Structure 1
Amino acid sequence: MPTDPKSDLETAYALQTPEQNREVYADWAKTYDGNFASRMDYHLPKMVALIFAKNGLASTTVLDVGAGTGLLAESIPARGLLEIDAVDISPQMLAVAAEKKIYRKTIEADLTKPLDIADGTYGAIVSSGTFTHGHVGPEALDELLRIARTGAVFVLAINDAHFEARGFAEKFSALEPQVDGLKFQSVTIYGLGADVEHKDDTARIAVFRKR
């Protein structure tokens, strides 16, 4: 991977297949937190964590979807009260996350395929940085709903450009009979340290409960 965080981001946005995701994130895992997240002032995981804290801390079992190196989970206030699992396509990213000792377990899985997780396992589902360019589309929402309990809270960040291009609006409309209290909050993905090209990138954070 390039060492320039902007180049890293453009490479990630250009991904097209699960195999490409595995290859790129294998190379990126060790430098992701310091070279990309810190230098680009990537604060989306913290935003998701704070919104989850306002809506879902009563849930004890949480799945961090596309967990990467664990930036979201380590930002959750009072996370010690929760049992948090991580799922990601990259074993290398999960290995970095596991070193932080914030997850009960890590699960290597392709989110574009059925997950080897029982129905109704989790009381909350959170995600940041997964529903974005070149990564996972709205088709994964059905599987996430399957593995969530009735009443489970969802806090999912979706890149705004991806939201429009990949059909998330239509998917959420179709899911209305299965969810309660659906609302969206618009946030910036990066802080003041981001490069000029991406400083105004935004995400839509969907918050709802499984009916």
Structure 2
Amino acid sequence: MILEDGKFKGHSILVETLTKEVPECRRKEVRVLDVAAGTGLVGVALAQKGFTNLDALEPSECMLECLRSKNVYTNTFQEFVGQAHTSVPQGCYDVVFVVGGMGYNHIPYTGVLEFVRFAKPGGLVMICMRQDEEDYLTQLKEYMNSLEEQQLWKKVNIG
């Protein structure tokens, strides 16, 4: 579980993992989409690490207002993931991530296909979520396996 002292620390794990994955010399050019961006906490942390090409997808207008005030996102999209295709362009992002947005009453596990659509060929899709929703997690893993069998993506790591 990605909890420390009872607090969700997924945002820290994502930032740490992505900064290891993307060399500092490439961080300004890498195009990143923050799905279920909330208040922009992860975007701010990534900007502090040198990422400058950040976009946000968030369904809540209030959250979007908050994250826009932080001036780290270039483009913002106010839409839900999982009901239909969003207006987010296809194949534009080197990295697509969601921190804490997956689960029942949030993004359905089938939303992963939309993440794949957002990513460039060879791009990274990163999902950081709590593991206490076992049924959802089982369905998500099965769905990710089916996408891999269809050769729509390749799982690199599940941790």
Range of TM-score over shorter length: 0.7 to 0.9
Aligned to 1:24: none
Aligned to 2:44: 74
Q: In structure 2, what is the Cα distance between the partners aligned to 1:127 and 1:181?
A: 16
Identity of matched residues, %:
21
Q: In structure 2, what is the Cα distance between the partners aligned to 1:136 and 1:153?
A: 18
Aligned to 2:3: none
Match of 1:152 among 123, 130, 137: 123
- State TM-score, norm by structure 1: 0.63
The alpha carbon displacement at 1:161 in A equals 2.9
Q: In structure 2, what is the Cα distance between the partners aligned to 1:131 and 1:68?
A: 13
* Residue-by-residue CA offset, 1:9-40 (whole Å, 9 max, x unaligned): xxxxxxxxxxxxxxxxxxxxxxxxxxxxxxx7
Aligned to 2:14: 48
The alpha carbon displacement at 1:54 in A equals 1.5
Task: Write out the 4+ residue segments of structure 1 that deviate beyond 4 Å after TM superposition.
Answer: none
SS in 2 for 1:175: helix
The alpha carbon displacement at 1:42 in A equals 3.7
* Residue-by-residue CA offset, 1:119-146 (whole Å, 9 max, x unaligned): 2111110110100232112111111111
Amino acid at match of 2:146: A
Aligned to 1:178: 152
Structure 1: 5+ residue stretches without partners: 1-39, 186-211
Q: In structure 2, what is the Cα distance between the partners aligned to 1:92 and 1:134?
A: 18
Determine which structure has more spread, i.e. the larger CA radius of gyration.
Answer: 1
Aligned to 1:121: 92
Aligned length: 147
The alpha carbon displacement at 1:163 in A equals 5.2
Aligned to 1:86: 56
Structure 2: 5+ residue stretches without partners: 1-5
Match of 1:103 among 65, 73, 88: 73
Q: CA RMSD in A?
A: 2.2
- State TM-score, norm by structure 2: 0.81
